[in-house]
Amino acid sequence: MLAGFIIGMKIKNFGSIMITVLENRVKLMKQGIPVKEKQEYIMNIDDISVDGEGIGRIEGYTMFIEGALPGEKVRVRVVKVGRNHGYGELLDIIEPSPNRVFPPCPYSARCGGCSLQHISYNSQIEFKTRRVRDALERIGKISDVMVHKTIGMQTPWRYRNKAQFPIRMDNGVLSIGFFMPGSHDIVDIDSCMIQHESCDKVIEIIRKFIRKYNIPVYDERTHRGIVRHVVTRMGFKTGQLMVVIVTNGRRLPYSNELVALLTSGLPNLISIVQNINSMKTNVILGNENLTLWGQDHIVDILAGLTFKISPLSFYQVNSAQTEVLYGKVLEYAGLTGKETVIDLYSGIGTISLFLARDAYKVYGIEEVPQAVYDAWENAKINGISNVEFIEGKAEDIIPELVDGGMRADVVVLDPPRKGCDQAVLDALARMAPPRIVYVSCNPATLARDLKFLTEQGYKVEEVQPVDMFPHTTHIECVVLMSRVEK
């Protein structure tokens, strides 16, 4: 008994000692940090982060300042202190950068959509090119490769063909707009300068509908209410507009009145869809659609090809730059009419059909059933017969194809932001196609995947960034890889 008591005391004392050691260690670390929360400092900004924040140092301690630019002297208030770096609030610009411009959007200071509006467009292009190069060198350990200058837009405004507006009711006040950075608080807007002009009218009509008929707005805390989001899709070449009302369940009071308001106010409207999402989730769209009026899809045209677009279809949001992007994919594919091509993450078949016009055979692999259906429809609409679409996850399908003896001359990858599943990369390494064209919207996961492929016998030939998302930190890339002969 006495021995047990002594052991217990030792364990208890050891725990107390460890807590004291940790507390002292924290104090020592804090003693080495030259800034304090809520205090103001003057500092110089030397660089910019991947998220668009200015980076500077106070007595060697790294600070991230949203809204600050390289080359500026600023006054900041420290809002958060960490072990290795802190965050500050920009209070005053003492010496502005020559690359600073006045944001034309009245919501830019509060909205989380366009974090680079205060930077000249030429500087945005330089920032995005450098971001891609840095990711390749730091994450991919790839430095001996040509990263071309980012291809920008001549007019980088009103370019988006898809908008998703959350709807909230806070203390009896209706808000329709976009989330503030790092929160679920909504900036109520009347107009968005990167969305098509038709979106402004849609917001106005939806706001009028909710107020006039007292429609319950969804509350994510209680999971009650009806209207969650409004989504718009626009065919830039055809002018066709779709409006999607996302609801918490099937019930949508006064739906006929909503149809009347939308159709009378939007002459280019051809589709009104109710999307049902009853899940407790941040995912915007559910899997079930009800057509309230008109068609269940819109049509758009890219480089002479016609595409049917449903509410759940993946379709690049910048139609003008998509033609540039896919043109580069086609160039890198180097097709002569004899090649078999596999297009992974093929969506509604946009890249597959671009390639099919110059290939012998194209296989598209896509996991979303509606997208696969649309892809077959798009092939039929365009009279393209040398393409086949396979439904399933890329990480399941491509290993099966390789095990079955499938070989391809060119493989095109266009994965989501998380990049390729390891099973996909392993299968590609075993298949060993002579050429891989990788389309990416995330330089970090792109660099990670390229590093693996270079270790499996591939060489990165060149990289072409394309600015699909002006005034944001996002960047799209096309990469050409070739198999190294051993």
Furthest CA-CA distance within the chain? 89
Q: Which residues of 71-84 are buried (b: 16+ CB within 10 A; e: fewer)?
A: bbbbebebeebeee
Respond yes or no: is residue 114 known to be catalytic. Answer: no
Which residues, including other chains, have CB under 8 Å from residue 14's CB and lie 6 or more apart? none
**Radius of gyration over alpha carbons of the chain, in Å?**
26
Going by the DSSP 8-state scheme, the letter that residue 49 receives in this structure is: -
Q: What span, in angstroms and rounded, lies between the C-alpha atoms of 309 and 236?
A: 12
Tokens matching residue 464: 């072409």
Distance between terminal CA atoms of the chain?
A: 72
CB-count exposure of residue 34 (10 Å: 0-12, 13-18, 19+): exposed
Q: What span, in angstroms and rounded, lies between the C-alpha atoms of 374 and 477?
A: 25
Tokens matching residue 333: 């594919």
- Give the dihedral sign, CA 344/416/191/176: positive
Going by the DSSP 8-state scheme, the letter that residue 241 receives in this structure is: E
Which residues, including other chains, have CB under 8 Å from residue 383's CB and lie 6 or more apart? none
Tokens matching residue 285: 């769209």
DSSP of 64-119, one letter per residue?
EETT--TT-EEEEEEEEE-SSEEEEEEEEEEE--TTB---S-TTTTT-SS-TTTTB
Beta strands in 139-279 (DSSP E): 146-147, 162-170, 173-179, 186-188, 227-234, 241-247, 269-276
Q: What span, in angstroms and rounded, lies between the C-alpha atoms of 380 and 384?
A: 6
* Contact call for residues 80 and 86 (beta carbons, < 8 A): yes
* Contact call for residues 362 and 337 (beta carbons, < 8 A): no
Q: What span, in angstroms and rounded, lies between the C-alpha atoms of 243 and 279?
A: 21
Q: CA nearest 417: which of 473, 363, 364?
A: 473
Q: Which of 111, 114, 420, 441 is catalytic?
A: 441
Tokens matching residue 20: 């004291």
Residues with catalytic roles: 441
